[in-house]
Amino acid sequence: MPTLRAMRAQTHEGWKSHTGGVDLMRAVIIEEHGGPEVLRYVDIPDPVPEPGEVVIRVGALTVNPGPDVQTREGRFGMPGFQLPHIGGSDPAGEVVALGEGVTSPQIGDRVVVYPLLWCGECDFCRRGFGANYCRKMRLWGAQTWGGRAEYARIPARNVVPLPDSVSYEAAATLPVSYITTWHGIIDKAGLIEGETLLVMGAAGGCGVAAIQIGLLHGARVLAVSGAEWKRERALELGADQAFDYHDADWAEQVKDATDGLGASVVFDNVGQETWPQSIPCLDRGGRFVCSGCTTGCAMELDVLWAYRHVVSMHFHVQGTKHNLEELVDVIGQGRLDPVIDSRFPLRDIALAEGKLLSQNHFGKIVIVPAADGPGSTSA
C-alpha cells in the first residue's frame, strides 16, 4: 500500500474528466492502530475506478463496532488488512464514474453498497449461496479501503439501486446492521407471525433493527436493555414489554411475560454476559440467533437441556445481497423507517465513534460527508 506522500504525488487524468479537474478529496485515514487520536482528516487523491468498478460520491454511511472501531484498534482480526487504511463499510451515494466494462449502474444512479466481496469460484459460490458463505469472503471497508471519504470505489456488482423514496441516510443503515439482523431472524431462524422475539441489546444498531424486523413480520417483541430511557424508546418503537438486564431476575420476568413458555426466537449479539440468561429463555422448539459477541465469545451450554427442549442455534456472518435488496424495497414502500440516533460530519468521526462507545445512543449513528462543507479544516 503506498504511503500518503506517494498517494498525493499520483495524478489521475482519467478521473479528472469526471470531476472538472478536482483531484483531491477529504477522507478519514489511519496510518497506525490506536485510539480515536489516530483518525486523521486529510486530503488524498480521488479514487479512480478499475475495470468492473464504479466510484460513488458518498452521501451517508454509519459507524459500526467491528468494521470501524475494532479495525481502528487493531483487534477486528480480518486477514489481509493493511495500513494506511480508510474504513467505512456501508455508504450510500451517487455514481460519478465507471470503470472499463461497466454497463450498470450508470453515472447519476443512486446506490447503496453491499459490503461483502465474494470469489464466485468456491463450492459455496458455485452452489448459489450468499456471499456471506464464500470461502474467500472479504469485507469491503475493513479488508479494503472503504467509504469514510467524499468518494469511494467499489465493484459494480456490489451496488444496489435506490429508489428516490429511500434517502442515503436510511440506506446507509442497512448494509451492516439491518441486513445482518434480517438474515438471522428471518432467513436462519424463520420468525413468523404470532411468534415471540426476545431482543437483547435492544438499543444498538442491530437491536433496534431486530425490534423493527420482528414487528414487521407480525411477531410479539420483548426488549432487554440496561437504561430506562432506552427501554422507553423500545416501547415507543412498538416492543410489547421491555426489561432491565440489571435486574437479577429479568429472565424470570421474560418467562412470566410468556406464560412460563419462553420466546420463540432469541436474538443476542451481546455475548457471554447475557447468554447464560437469554438462552434458557427459549421456548420448546425455540431458535437462538447470534452474529456477534461484544462482551466476549465463550459460551457454556447445557446440551441435555438443549436437545430435550429441541432448540436450535444459528450463527451467521452479515446477510446476503438479496437481503439488502429486500430491505431497500421494504423501506421504499414505507413499511419500515430505520432509526437514526444522530448525525455527524465526516470531520467529527472521532466524536461519532465516541458516542457509539459510550452506548448513549438508540439506533444508528450516521456520518454525512457533505455536512463538512467547503473550507473544512483538519480535525
Distance, in Å, from the CA atom of 280 to the CA atom of 202, rounded to the nearest integer, reads 18
| pLDDT of the residue at 377 | 33
d(CA 83, CA 132): 25
**What is the predicted pLDDT for the residue at 373?**
56
How many Cβ atoms from other residues are within 10 Å of residue 51's Cβ? 11
C-alpha cell read off for 293:
459477541
Per-residue confidence (pLDDT) for residue 79, from 0 to 100: 78
Asked if residue 284 lies in contact with residue 308, where contact means CB atoms within 8 angstroms, the answer is no
**Per-residue model confidence (pLDDT) at position 13:** 40
Count, residues in the chain: 379
Q: Cell numbers of 136, please? A: 474467500
| Residue 231: CB atoms within 10 Å | 20
Which residues neighbour 182 within 8 Å (Cβ) at sequence distance 6 or greater? 209, 213, 319, 323, 326, 327
Q: Report the C-alpha gap between 79 and 186 in whole angstroms.
A: 29
Strands 312-315 and 282-290 come out as: parallel
The tens-digit pLDDT sequence of the chain (379 residues) is 333 334 333 333 433 333 344 589 999 999 999 999 999 999 999 999 999 999 999 999 999 998 999 999 998 877 778 899 999 999 999 999 999 999 999 999 999 999 999 999 999 999 999 999 999 999 999 999 999 999 999 999 999 999 999 999 999 999 999 999 999 999 999 999 999 999 999 999 999 999 999 999 999 999 999 999 999 999 999 999 999 999 999 999 999 999 999 999 999 999 999 999 999 999 999 999 999 888 889 999 999 999 999 999 999 999 999 999 999 999 999 999 999 999 999 999 999 999 999 999 999 999 999 877 543 333 3
Cell of 294: 461484544
Q: CB 344: neighbour CB atoms within 10 A? A: 20
What residue ranges define each of the domains in the chain, with the CATH number in brackets? 4-173+339-372 (3.90.180.10), 177-315 (3.40.50.720)
Q: Which residues pair with 263 in a beta bridge?
A: 282
For 120, the grid coordinates are: 464466485
